Amino acid sequence: MSTRNNEIFSQGDPEGAAAIREAHASGRVRDTMLDDFGIEIPAETVPLPSQGLAYPEGHPFHRQSTVDITAMTAREEDILTSQALIKKGTVITELIRSCLVNKAVRPDFLLSGDRNAIMVAIRITGYGREYEATINCESCVKIPILVSIWLLCRSRA
């Protein structure tokens, strides 16, 4: 058995990785599914609570009242269950990054209200508009309830 470190990690920045990061940051990322396979992934439009008014000029959300996200897939399920991301505390950021259509957006620099709105929308695309829960009451039995996330979101709009 070799005691050498894994060469992938010992070489520093792999060839092309810096260019890929720069392309993502600048928004010049190819849509592989559309360009190579002719498949357009449908997107959902999410209203931003901030209306984009709090973002500085040059930010992708500046004066944007909505943002487009894609529905959750098995890839996002993998993100949610990734022990590495959970330990790093970046699972929500990576989930948002994966679902945002505009890859130039850095989820860690979003306003908390906008992050929350995007997370609720991602949850709806992946698991539906209803959320089953149980209320535990010390003086009575457990009460199962069904909450409609969609109705909660619409009543505040």
How far is the first Cα of the chain from the last one, in angstroms, to the nearest whole number?
A: 61
- Which residue, among 139, 149, 145, 96, has the nearest Cα to 119 in the 3D structure? 96
pLDDT over 70 for what percent of the chain? 73
pLDDT at 138: 76
pLDDT above 90: residue 132: no
Q: Residue 46 burial (CB < 10 Å; 0-12/13-18/19+)?
A: buried
pLDDT at 33: 64
pLDDT at 53: 94
Q: How confident is the model at residue 107 (pLDDT cuts 50, 70, 90)?
A: very high
Model confidence over 14-36: pLDDT tens digits? 444 455 455 555 555 566 666 77
Least confident of 15-19, 33-37, 39-43, 131-135: 15-19
The answer to whether the beta carbons of residues 93 and 76 sit under 8 Å apart is no
C-alpha 54/C-alpha 61 separation (Å) is 9
User: Rounded to 5 degrees, what are φ and ψ at 134?
Assistant: -125, 130
105 CB-near residues (< 8 Å, 6+ apart): 60, 61, 67, 97
Model confidence over 53-64: pLDDT tens digits? 999 998 899 999
- Give ∠ CA 76-81-85 in degrees, rounded to 5: 90
The widest CA-to-CA distance across the chain, in whole angstroms, is 63
Residue 40 in tokens: 């357009």
Model confidence over 49-90: pLDDT tens digits? 999 999 999 889 999 999 999 988 889 999 999 999 999 999
Residue 154 in tokens: 């619409």
Residue 28 in tokens: 């010049």
Residue 148 in tokens: 């409609």
Q: Tell which wins on pLDDT, 10 or 105.
A: 105
C-alpha 18/C-alpha 157 separation (Å) is 41
